[in-house]
Structure 1
């Protein structure tokens, strides 16, 4: 592979690492001498193209370290980047699985990604051979972009702690107007519409940009489909929860379904040495956001109450402290307020804010509804009902009307006690026709008038009602 192709081809790598590498190669392409000693001093390590072979540990468990940027082949690229060759990694994985001494393979990966060339083939090799012997990926630093592409092809994926970087699922391509500029002018003669549509010696046209974008989008779709196959989920789930280019840190990666739990390389080696078959089945990603939504918690990327699960036939973990691959009992598992606040603090805070706002609005409506049923003489009752926090407006109306009825009955009783003795009956027709209505009749009619006016949404005092009742009954 030519250096100019490395410089301009699509990459699946963290941006800052790509910029550093391209800067070194741009210097080389301009004809300037690369200061190897200065690079070694900045990287704090000697440059070397040697790639480590796998190491066989306890009970035939092999460990293959994959460090640095991933390149298609071992060349100046791997010497400068201190990375690994996809071509050599394929051979080493094949050799380890074919080795009769090896019972299982642990890929110890610390890589920001690299060139997409050779990465799909490496991932396919790991995916295929993991069916023959258990393969587990563990990262104790970074498992990003192209590194996650092939790392996720293992039967299970783990990170060593809460600060490991995972994800950065995406593709980047850089167009440099003229990385080889020397002050001269280059003229290109081409045949074929797309032959040099994104030339490095001319500004990028809109058509050229779209051409490069189409290439990046296609590679991105291949990347997403591969992760979906590796993790046992739909491509839509990968796009929604994993593949927006973000870097997930520690528990975030577990919750997003990118990894199956937290365990060190040594811990996985010990578990595999005890029983390699527990990793023979492929783990299925459990996305915490989807689990929380199903439980009614709102669908945020939450904490550790939704552990990853094992696929059908996968054996249980022998490390209950670090590994999370058992499905909890849906009947026994209850999401309490304390658990939600502890394990899903951002979600809890958002829900608390939303519920408080909704509760405040509901309480305002309740109080206004109670005040609408207020009647003179019952202000204390209205204040009590508003303050209890539970009485509804309809319940308040019933209580106020009941209190008013009791009040009117008491007034009627008092009026009856204060009434003068009735006059003796007379046979005079005029006296009979002028007989006044009784207090009981006035009180009863006044109650009817108060109730009718209240039902109609109007207010009337008892005195007004009694006067109207007296007039009506006297005229009857």
Structure 2
């Protein structure tokens, strides 16, 4: 970033930090020389323009994003405490390509920075998260451009209740230095072509038309900012506008309620949980190597093998194996407890199929019992004797009384008729001692029966 970018570039940064940057710029405009030794003593480090790189802790690559964010690093960024989006992008690609790195943690403590370079870095982070898990750890402040970048990770963790999150918005400034030049006896005349080429020049007051032009640019950048956060956080732009993007800075608990972050935890807890895979990433991951270019083309995924999962998460894999073995033992035990005498072979064939339970085996035994009973009933019916056929009897036809007819038949001899009466009437046999005495009685009575 050049010193003139302070005036010409739109910023996604908290206002207080922008004022501090303006103060540095004003000192340069006034011709004041910056005491570099004093600055180094104040910040406790040399003003070296070097990449911060990353450190790997048990498979987690920690990439620092500290200070004001700009596309390129120079002495101005170092004085104000800055980070280059280009160098962070380089470190992310290296971490994705590093076989020792299983996941990536972006350690962010930044008030934001220039818009230029921010979206490109955010897109790269989103691309990297499809290859390896990427998490953001907000430590102190993650505002404006820093939140834009951090929101592209799979999940966001805040270090504590006092961490500041948000400040979603865009700001640009116009500083008129014409009076300052006049006091120094200097007048700058610009020669330009094109209506808007120097419409907002610092060497003259800002016109209404120039202000409207700058406002239009800021509004367009703000829309891009909001849409990117909405896509990164999996919500609509309207929700981001209503809940997050009014320029305010929120403390962690309020940011959590508004869906701006996912967890509140210490740095140590975050590293441990990432190493153990306690917090699942929101996106599918693969072990493909990272793209070496800065393009934003999507990276194709490939399935993750069981061996890769075991290698990346050995403790979780073993815990899952132990849990599965315990459930399988319980399943086999329930199958054996459901067994009945005579069904040992059935139980043996089902208990090792990986899916049968005591309930399904009990149901299978009941079905076998029902089949046996049905077969026995069918055999009993088939072996039973056939019923004897007979002619139906007319229910209205009364059986004939042959003895009575014989008694009343006058054509028969009296003795035969008396014998028929004797045989058919038990009261006669009880009254007379013999058929002969009864016959004598009938003859004496004139043959009356």
TM-score by length of 1: 0.57
> Distance between the aligned counterparts of 2:209 and 2:126, measured in 1?
37
Counterpart selection for 2:217 from 215, 218, 221? 215
**1:437 corresponds to:** none
**1:126 corresponds to:** 125
- Aligned-partner SS, 1:140: strand
Counterpart selection for 1:271 from 267, 273, 288? 273
Q: Considering only aligned residues, what root-mean-square deviation do their CA atoms show, in Å?
A: 2.1
Tell me if 1:237 matches 2:236. no
Which deviations, in whole Å up to 9, do the C-alpha atoms of 1:258-307 show, x marking residues without a partner? 1012012221211111128822528xxxxxxxxxxxxxxxxxxxxxxxxx
Q: How many residues align?
A: 283
- Aligned-partner SS, 1:211: helix
Matches within 5 A, 1:354-393: none
> Distance between the aligned counterparts of 2:130 and 2:90, measured in 1?
17
Unaligned 5+ runs, structure 2: 285-315, 317-449
Q: CA deviation at 1:13?
A: 0.5
> Distance between the aligned counterparts of 1:241 and 1:221, measured in 2?
15
Query: Cα–Cα, structure 1 residues 280 and 241, in superposed 2: closer, same or farther, change >3 Å?
Result: closer
> Distance between the aligned counterparts of 2:260 and 2:79, measured in 1?
30
> Distance between the aligned counterparts of 2:282 and 2:239, measured in 1?
24
Tell me if 1:51 matches 2:87. no
> Distance between the aligned counterparts of 1:99 and 1:44, measured in 2?
31
> Does the aligned pair in 1 maintain the 2:155–2:282 contact within 8 Å?
no
> Distance between the aligned counterparts of 2:7 and 2:209, measured in 1?
21
**2:111 corresponds to:** 112
> Distance between the aligned counterparts of 2:63 and 2:88, measured in 1?
9
> Does the aligned pair in 2 maintain the 1:14–1:168 contact within 8 Å?
yes
Tell me if 1:3 matches 2:36. no
> Does the aligned pair in 2 maintain the 1:136–1:154 contact within 8 Å?
yes
> Does the aligned pair in 1 maintain the 2:273–2:279 contact within 8 Å?
no
> Does the aligned pair in 1 maintain the 2:166–2:244 contact within 8 Å?
yes
Which deviations, in whole Å up to 9, do the C-alpha atoms of 1:364-406 show, x marking residues without a partner? xxxxxxxxxxxxxxxxxxxxxxxxxxxxxxxxxxxxxxxxxxx
> Distance between the aligned counterparts of 1:7 and 1:191, measured in 2?
20
> Distance between the aligned counterparts of 1:48 and 1:16, measured in 2?
25
TM-score by length of 2: 0.60
**1:25 corresponds to:** 25
Matches within 5 A, 1:293-332: none
Q: CA deviation at 1:22?
A: 1.8
- Aligned-partner SS, 1:70: strand
| Higher alpha-carbon deviation: 126-135 or 180-189 | 180-189
Q: CA deviation at 1:190?
A: 1.8
Q: CA deviation at 1:44?
A: 5.7
Q: CA deviation at 1:146?
A: 0.4
Query: Cα–Cα, structure 1 residues 98 and 270, in superposed 2: closer, same or farther, change >3 Å?
Result: same
**1:313 corresponds to:** none
Of structures 1 and 2, the larger Rg is shown by 2
**1:310 corresponds to:** none
